[in-house]
Structure formats: structure tokens, C-alpha cells
A and B are shown apart, each in its own frame.
Chain A
Amino acid sequence: MTATRDRFGRPIVVVTGMGIVTSLGAGKSDNWSKLIAGQSGIRTITRFSTEGLKTTMAGTVDLIPVEPLSSVTLTERLADVATQEAVAQANIGGKGDFPGPLFLAVAPVEIEWHARQELARACAAAGDTDINYDSILKQSGGGRYADYHHRFMMGSVADHLADTFGTKGSPISLSTACASGATAIQLGVEAIRRGETDAALCVGTDGSVSAECLIRFSLLSALSTQNEPPEAAARPFSKNRDGFVMAEGAGALVLESMESAISRGARILGIVAGCGELADSFHRTRSSPDGKPIIGCVRNALADASLEPGQIDYINAHGTGTPENDKMEYLGISAVFGDYTNKVPVSSNKSMVGHTLSAAGTVEAIFSLLTLEHQRIPPTINYEVPDPAIPFDVVPNKARDAKVTAVMSNSFGFGGQNATLILTREPVWSNSHG
């Protein structure tokens, strides 16, 4: 009989369904083949005018048209596509009757420009000569714009998914900035380990490439401005990296207790062996220069998985391509991995799909599980000018076959957010571990 509990006696949490959509395409098959081929999904933005902007490219998902242009509606559609794929693969519950809670990583929902502009035009039509919030407030009531209230509720995407897929209980919308996807998975893992549920739906989604959102990141000097050619903009770990590339996408995972998955004969795609987190109190957008929060986060994940650094065969890096992140990630990893640092392959999916922000943690967990399935490590593309300060084996430019039993996936975000997941193919842990 297979042991279904880990060495702490907790239920082992497995993945039985995965769905993904990124700038490379929709579905695991399309995404994996392009990722392994080292293709870039980054392209010149056509969705809105980029006149006057320093950055004109992004990893937009253009295959799902949304009219009028709305980040929250696209965010919802992306989540729908990914979740349908995941739930279908898991073949769990009845149609529209998922037997567990929803944890949704999603960007904060905001009233968008198309709504404000519609109100401004209504003011102009009513004869207002100076349009401001007092005048648009006067136009806002009476039910004409009731749909905007519902659409721009912070929980509107989660509510939609809960209705569509029939998840149980109060759906949770969460944000830990660029670590959100990893946090959604961690919340699902914790719920299953507590024995509250046998299954959880963990989704990360982001359709945020709008002019204002791009400008916000641009004003913080976070984005690459190497616009031509767009597919070469994302350069994690390279000396000539100059920022991250905004991108869209969604990843959905069906998590189950191993016991439940085995008893219903589900195919097990991988194991979420460990989760770690630790917040940074140094600065709103920068990591503590001593790297301690990242080091602690990575160590927490290893301890939770009962693994030693030497048992990690591949690190799916946060690897945004900002000068700061990549340097700090090397500092943190090398402090924990010591002499083994330069022996473990470390690549960045973001070199190809860009930074899918709130979705990144789920998207990259899925790529990590596909790495385990195919025993092939995706490359870091655009790696032409190595940064001597970051002597990682970055799996430069070409995918590599390798024996991979355990993967570490890192996510770090604004606001001092750090989260690390450890994914394995089979139950594995170190007997010698602390």
C-alpha cells in the first residue's frame, strides 16, 4: 500500500489537473512544446496606442478577444480557459460541481478607463463643462451603470469562477503581488493538510496589460525598454538585462490529497511537497540587501518538504530580468545551496512567456510539473551576455534533458512578498532532514 502521509504525518498533496494559457498559446501541449523550443511569446503591443511610452512590448494573450478592452474581463476569460483544462484533466466532481474551495490569485480589480470615459461622455452630453469626480458621481446612480459595480467588485472574478465550476464555500481572492500564484497553491496545500477538504482549486490569472498598468510599472523603472526585437527583451541573468516584461496568462491546478486521488483512480501529475514564505520588511519594492528574507523563504520550503538543497535537481527561478531581482535571487540561492549552487540548473520561464504577475506562481508551478513529467528542463533564452556576478547554470538558450525528481519554484513580489514551492514527481524526502 502506498503511504499517503508525509513524514510529519500530514496528508500528501498531489496535483491531478493542470490548465494553462500564456502568450505562447492555450493548453499544456502547445505551451510546453513552444517553451521547450525556446520560443518567445513577447510581441509588440497592438491592443492600445504605445505612443510616448518607453516600453512598447509585452506578453499579451491576444487569442481571446475582449470587447471593450477590459483587464478584469480578460483576466476572467483566461482563468476560465485554464480552469476548464485543469478540471477536465482531473475529471473530478460533476459538471459545475467541484468538490472543494477556490483560491484565486488575481490582480486587484479596479474601475477601468472605459467606464470612466463612458461616464465623462455622459457628463458632456448633460452639458457639464468641467468634468471631475463630482460631475461623474452625479451620473453614476440610477442603475445605468449597475453592471460596473458588479464587474469591478474585488471578488468578481472569483465569484464568476465559483459559479461556473461550483467550488464550495466562500471563494478567496488573494494578492501577494508577484508571488500570488504560489500563495494560492500554498493555501490549497494547507487546507488539504488540515483535513478540511480532499480537493482544492488553485488558480492564478492576470490580464493586466493596459496602458495605465504598463505606465505604472514603467514609472517605477521596473520594465525592460529593449523593445526591438520584442522577443529578445526578456533577458534574465544576462549582464544586459534591464527589467521585466509584463505578460498575461493563467494557470489552474487541481490539488487533492494523495489518498483521495488514489482511491478514485486519478492520474497523479506530481506532488506539492513543500511551501515556504517569509516577508521582507526592508523596502516596498526592493529586497533586503542581506538576502535574509529570500534565504529564509527558501529554507522554509526545504524544511516543509523535508529535503536538503542537494536533492533539488532544478530551480525554476523567479528570474524576472530586473537588475535587482536576479542579483538577489543568486545571493539567496547561493547562500542556501553553497557549493552546489553552480551545479543545479536554474532557468527562467519568464525569458519566454514574460512576467505573468499574479499568475506567475501557478504558471511556473505547472511548467515545473511538466519539467518533471518530460524530464526536460526549459531554457533561459536571450542569454547572450552572461553576468559574471550570477554564475548560475541558466540552461542557456536550449532545453536540456535531465533526471529531475524535485523542482524548486520561486516567486518574489513587491511589498516584501516571498514564496517558494517544491514540486516532486514521487513522494520523496530526506530521512536525515532536521
Chain B
Amino acid sequence: MIDRDSAKREAWITGIGIVSSLGEGLETHWDALQNKTINVDTTTFAPYIVHPIARLNYDLQIPKKGDQRQMETWQRIGTYAAGLALDSAGLKGNQDILARMDMIVAASGGDRDLAVDSTIMNADARGNSPPGFFNERLMSDLRPTLFLAQLSNLLAGNVAIVHGVTGSSRTFMGGENAGADAIKIALARIEAGQSDIALIGSAHNSERKDLLMFFEFGDFNLKNEYSPVWARGERDGFAIGSAGVFLVVESKEHAQARGAKPYARLSKVVTDRARRDKGSIIPTLDALWTQIGASAGADTAILTGASGANRVTAEERAFLEKHRGIPVRATGTAFGHTVDAQFLLGTALAALSIWHRKLFPANDPTGFEAEATAAPNQIVVVSTGHWSGEGMALVEATD
């Protein structure tokens, strides 16, 4: 029975998998945040700055080389993180549960073969492309399997193949809010009894010139010199970051029945899309804040994915100023802007902080990030898309 008046089921985060420029796994990430580690590459793509993925032994989570060859980097990053999340939830290889586990992935894709593109662009720009040249080059030079690496839904497809998650498979696209909407809908389904357990995740590969070009169209790339998010001031932009993040979220009853321990409770996720052409996004953030219903006590904290994209980050900062008593952390400083993965990264780090009963230290020379005075009992994850979409999640302690 599903009725709008019936009590919503409680949902727990019971599995977390993270890979990023800081490394892999929960301990590595926690230590890196304590040590304020930041890994940026300022030379490979100069003047652009990226947070490259740490060196991973993909064999550990993607045992078949054949599977690895069928993927592009973003899919390998994501499939690896999904394996870590299943390990952390104690579900790796549990066919009974994996076969009915729902999956929602937030993804982009669209990787190019840069050499093939360059050949065609050169010929074309020089007036050197006879009729049929374009078709001939693509027909002869494109790897057939590249298509499967370009398709957004093939990260979920690879997770199904490699890890056996097959209850359902849905892929949301659309940048930052794809991640927020993915976990929002997974949570709504669990609360309403439409789903018992879900794997939600995303992956982003920053080491792509074609992606830098896309963000460069909008002048969003941070150039020349790295600086923490709040220290960028009028320097517009973000350094894109590589990350794969997957979470296992399940109903409390389902977790208890299998003896799984929660990292944290996922209490609420809200999303919206402000008409940015109509003015400030602050009223939308205010409305989401009211909906999320955080207590705003000393044991509350905020993790924001603020990218550094000038106007929206300035507006988000003005919103955050209204809640000055609550310590804030911008994940973009250490991880870069991980776009589709950003909201889930914030949610994962919130759950990790709740589990540690400690907020990681401020990493901000401007002082906007204040040191926490109490152990966090609830953390609000905040996201403003660089171009579109706003979202918040409330992650809380279960006791």
C-alpha cells in the first residue's frame, strides 16, 4: 500500500565508494582531508588546471581486461567506485541482493577520439576535404566500441556487467543536478516502498581536452594558478576534477535484516531549477533550505559543491552568509569541480563525517570556512549548478 499519508520509510547510507585525485577509499580520503591535501595538475593542460584521477589498479575492481578495454576512463573510474561501494556495504558478490538492487547513475559521457577529430578538422579548415572524406575517415578510423564509451547509460551498463547489479538501471544526465535528482528519486522510491535498496553513483574524468573546450565556451575554466574556491574572488572559474562516487542507500528495515551498519541516515533530498535569466538564485536556495529543515544548531554543518563559477558561487556565498553560525566546507577546493559527481561526492563526505563524528578541517585562507566547535549530528549538502539546477540533501546521524 502506498499512500501519500502513510509514514515514509527511513533510509540509511550503508555503502560508500570514492575515488578521486586524492586517492581511493574512505580512509585515504579522510586522511587527505585532515592533511588538507590537494592534487592538481597545472602543466599537462596549461593554462588550464585539473585535479587528475589518482593512480588506480583497475584490476582490483574490474578483473577482466576485456571489460576494461570496452570502457573509457570515466567508465573505469565509475565502475571502480561502484565496486568499492558494494565492498563497503558488504554486498560484493551477494547475487540475491544485487539482482534486485536498483541503480541510478548520473552521467555525461561523449568522449571523443581526438586524433580522428583533428584529422577531419585539419582537412576541413584547409578546404582539403573532398566529398566523402568525412564519412570515409569516420568509417575507417573510429573504433566501433568508442560509441559504447560515449553513451551515458553505459556506465550503469558496465556496473551491471562487472558487479551484477541488475534490479533496474536508470541514467540521469544534465550536469550537477543529475546527481542530486538521482539520489532524490532513489530516496523517494525507498521511502515509498517502491524500492528496498539502491546503488546511486556518478563518475567524471577531468583529463579531457574536449571537456575543457566545452567549459571554455562558457569561460568557466580556472586558468594559470590554482587557488581554493573561496579565495578566487573575481577570478572566475573552476578546475575540473576527476572522481567516481557511488553510494548504497537502503531502507532501515532492509539494512537491519541483513545486519548492515549505517554510515548515516539520508533524511531528505530536495532539488529545483531557478530561472537564472530572471535574477538571483538566492530565493530558490532559501526555499530549498526551508524544505530541508536543518536545525541550524552547533551540531550542524554545510558541505557545498560551490564550483567557483563566478556569479552563482557569489550568490551561493551570499546565501551561506545568512547561516553564518554553521561551519561550511567547499569540496571543490580539494576535489575540483566534479560536475555530475559533485552532489554525490558531497553526500558521501557528509556521511563519512557523520560516521567519524567530526567535520574535516577548514581549508580556506580567507577564513570563510570556520572551524567546527561541535561534533556534527546533521550535515546539509548544497549544490548550485554552474549553469543550471540547485539541490540540497540532509544527512544525519542515526542515533
Binding site for B on A (CB under 8 A): 8-10, 49-53, 106, 108-111, 113, 116-117, 119-121, 123-124, 130-134, 136-137, 140-143, 145-150, 152-155, 158-159, 162-163, 169-177, 183, 187, 190-191, 193-196, 211-212, 215-220, 277-285, 293, 413-417
B2 (CB) vs chain A CBs: closest residue: A10
Query: Which of A49, A106, A177, A280 has a CB less than 8 Å from the CB of B151?
Result: A177
A190 (CB) vs chain B CBs: closest residue: B194
Contacts known (A170-B180, A415-B151); A117 close to B135, Cβ less than 8 A: no
Residues B169 and A53 in contact, CB atoms below 8 Å apart: no
- A215-B126 Cα distance, complex, nearest whole Å: 24
A196 (CB) vs chain B CBs: closest residue: B188
CB distance from A109 to the nearest CB of B (A): 7
22 residue pairs from A and B, CB less than 8 Å apart: A51-B131, A52-B136, A52-B139, A108-B151, A131-B121, A137-B48, A140-B216, A155-B174, A170-B180, A170-B272, A170-B390, A174-B171, A175-B153, A193-B194, A215-B142, A218-B139, A278-B166, A278-B167, A281-B160, A284-B161, A285-B148, A415-B151
Chain B interface, number of residues (Cβ within 8 angstroms): 82
Query: Which of B125, B147, B221 has a CB less than 8 Å from the CB of A121?
Result: B125
Query: Which of B156, B213, B272, B389 has a CB less than 8 Å from the CB of A155?
Result: B389
Q: How many residue pairs between the two chains, A and B, have CB atoms under 8 Å in the bound complex?
A: 255
Residues B388 and A216 in contact, CB atoms below 8 Å apart: no
Residues B214 and A152 in contact, CB atoms below 8 Å apart: yes
Residues A155 and B177 in contact, CB atoms below 8 Å apart: yes
Cβ–Cβ < 8 Å partners of A216 in chain B: 142, 146-147, 150
Contacts known (A108-B108, A149-B387); A416 close to B166, Cβ less than 8 A: yes
Contacts known (A170-B389, A215-B142, A416-B160); A124 close to B126, Cβ less than 8 A: yes
Q: Does B114 interact with chain A (Cβ within 8 Å)?
A: yes
Query: Which of B132, B146, B152, B168 has a CB less than 8 Å from the CB of A277?
Result: B168
Cβ–Cβ < 8 Å partners of B390 in chain A: 170
Residues A116 and B121 in contact, CB atoms below 8 Å apart: yes
Residues B177 and A120 in contact, CB atoms below 8 Å apart: no
> Which of B2, B134, B170, B177: most chain A CB closer than 10 A?
B170
- A415-B79 Cα distance, complex, nearest whole Å: 14
Residues A120 and B185 in contact, CB atoms below 8 Å apart: no
Q: Does B110 interact with chain A (Cβ within 8 Å)?
A: yes
Cβ–Cβ < 8 Å partners of A212 in chain B: 138
Residues A219 and B142 in contact, CB atoms below 8 Å apart: yes
B216 (CB) vs chain A CBs: closest residue: A140
Cβ–Cβ < 8 Å partners of B48 in chain A: 137
Cβ–Cβ < 8 Å partners of A281 in chain B: 160-161, 164-166
Residues A159 and B388 in contact, CB atoms below 8 Å apart: yes
Residues B139 and A284 in contact, CB atoms below 8 Å apart: no
List 8 other contacts, CB 8 Å, given A133-B209, A219-B142, A279-B167: A113-B134, A120-B124, A140-B213, A154-B178, A155-B178, A171-B174, A172-B185, A285-B148
- A121-B152 Cα distance, complex, nearest whole Å: 30
Cβ–Cβ < 8 Å partners of A279 in chain B: 103, 156-157, 160, 165-169
Cβ–Cβ < 8 Å partners of A183 in chain B: 170
Residues A220 and B160 in contact, CB atoms below 8 Å apart: no
CB distance from A156 to the nearest CB of B (A): 9
Cβ–Cβ < 8 Å partners of B126 in chain A: 124
Contacts known (A149-B218, A215-B139); A49 close to B272, Cβ less than 8 A: no
- A130-B213 Cα distance, complex, nearest whole Å: 17
A195 (CB) vs chain B CBs: closest residue: B4
Cβ–Cβ < 8 Å partners of B319 in chain A: none
Q: Does B144 interact with chain A (Cβ within 8 Å)?
A: yes
Cβ–Cβ < 8 Å partners of A134 in chain B: 209
CB distance from B347 to the nearest CB of A (A): 16
Query: Which of B122, B167, B168, B214 has a CB less than 8 Å from the CB of A111?
Result: B214
